[in-house]
Amino acid sequence: MTMPGWYDLAKLGRDLDFEESVRTQDEPGILRSREYFNTLIKEQVEQGIKPSRIVLGGFSQGGAMSLFAGVTHPEKLGGVFGLSCYLLLSDRIKNYLPEDWPNKKTPVFMGHGEDDDVVKYDFGTMSAKLLREMGLEDLKFNSYPDLGHSADPAEIEDLEKFLSKAIPPEEGQTSAGL
C-alpha cells in the first residue's frame, strides 16, 4: 500500500528491515520535498531571518524529511531535529551533501521511542550511527523507554532544551521566541 505524504511510503512496520527500507524509498518524491524545504528556508531568509536562526524539524515522515533536508542544505542552519524518524537515502546521502558541508557542525537532535511499532527504534539508532560515521559532529540521540510512535512530555522537554541551545536568545532578547 502506498501512503502519500512528504514522499510516498511503499512499506512500513516491524517486518521491514533498514536496508529494504532504503531500497524502496521514493527518491524523486524526497528530492521534490527537499526542494520545497529549501524554498521555505529561502523565503524566510529573504524576510530577514538568518539561516543560523532556522531550525528544521518534525515527527515521523516530517522528521525524516527534516533530517535529510537539513543535513544536505547548502547554508548553515541553526539546528535540525527528528522525532521517531530515520535518515532518508542513507546509502547515497553523501551524493547530496554540499562540497563544503556547512551543516557538518549543526546541532542535530533525534528522539525515538523504544516501543515504536511504525518506525522501528533500530531505524533511528542506525540512522544516528550513519550520521556520526559520515562526520556529523553535534548529534544527540535520546531513547524513550515504553514510548511507541508518539511523543511524550520527557521528549518534548528534551526538545525544548535542544532548541534553547541551538537558537539561543540574541543579544538584547530574553528568549529565542520559544
Please say if 149 is a catalytic residue: yes
d(CA 120, CA 115): 8
- The active-site residue, picked from 143, 149, 150, 158, is 149
Q: Which of 26, 84, 112, 116 is catalytic?
A: 116
Instruction: State whether residue 164 is helix, strand or coil.
Output: helix
Grouping H, G, I as helix, E, B as strand and the rest as coil, residue 79 is strand
73 is catalytic: no
C-alpha distances out from residue 84 to 10, 41, 67, 75, 122, Å: 18, 23, 11, 25, 10
Is 152 a residue of the active site?
Answer: no
Residue found under cell 531568509 = 45
Distance, in Å, from the CA atom of 142 to the CA atom of 108, rounded to the nearest integer, reads 11
Q: Is 172 left (phi over 0), alpha (psi -120 to 50) or beta?
A: left
Q: Contact at 8 Å (CB) between 63 and 36?
A: no
Choosing from 60, 66, 84, 90, the catalytic residue is: 60
First-to-last CA distance in the chain?
38
Tell me the catalytic residues: 60, 116, 149
